[in-house]
Every structure is written in C-alpha cells, then in structure tokens.
Structure 1
Amino acid sequence: MAMYESEHTKFMREWMAKHPEEQSEQKKGRALWWDKPQSVEEQQRFREARVPVKPYYYDANH
C-alpha cells in the first residue's frame, strides 16, 4: 500500500536533492525562529501567566 505524497512534497524533495546547499540555510532559518533555549524560570512564568479559556468562547454571559 503506497502512502500519498502531495505534489508540493514531491517538488520540495526534488528541489532539495538538486540544491543540497539549501539545507544549511533551512537550518539557519529554523534556528532563527524556532530553536530557542528556554530556562525553567521562563517556563514557570509562562505557566503562571496563562489565562483560563471560557468553556464556550462566544457566550457573552459567562
């Protein structure tokens, strides 16, 4: 049984195979936006700052 692969995924696989130098650029971009170290204190501040979500968001009476 074959797995479905979108046209975009096929294109990106072929493009990355033809341009292997782009993998280092991709890693730099990911490090810039996503891979950020977090301290335990920072994570604790995030947990404490959370605001509870209403059970039904659009209900103005609660």
Structure 2
Amino acid sequence: MAIYESEHTKFMREWLAQHPQEVEEQKKGRALWWDKPQDLDTSTRRAQAQVPVKSYYYDINH
C-alpha cells in the first residue's frame, strides 16, 4: 500500500536536501518563537488567575 505524499511535501524534502543550511535556520526560528524555558510557578499562577467564562457571554442577568 502506497502512502500519499503531497506535492508540497515532496518539494520541501527536495529543497531541504539541496539547502541543508536551512535546517539550522528553521531551528533558530523555532527557538526564537516557541522553545522557551518553562517556569512551573508562573504557569500555575497564570492558570489560577484565569477568570471563568460565562456560559452565555451576552446574558447580562448572570
């Protein structure tokens, strides 16, 4: 059974094979925006500080 692979995926595989330096650039970009150290105390405080959302937002009686 053949596994489907989109044209975009094929293109990206070929392009990354031809430009291996871009893998490092991807990792730098990911580290810049997503890979951040996590602080358990800060996460806990943020979770506790959240205000519960009303079941019906526009109901002024509740």
- How does the TM-score come out when normalised to structure 2? 0.77
In the alignment, structure 1 segments of 5+ residues that lack a partner are none
In the alignment, structure 2 segments of 5+ residues that lack a partner are none
- How does the TM-score come out when normalised to structure 1? 0.77
* Correspondence for 2:58: 60
Percent identity, aligned pairs only?
A: 67
Matched, 1:4 2:23: no
The structural deviation recorded for 1:54 is 4.3
Residues 14-53 of structure 1: per-residue CA shift (max 9 Å, x gap)? 1000000111111000000000001111110221133334
Runs of 4+ in 1 over 3 A off after TM superposition: 53-56
Q: Which has the larger radius of gyration?
A: 2
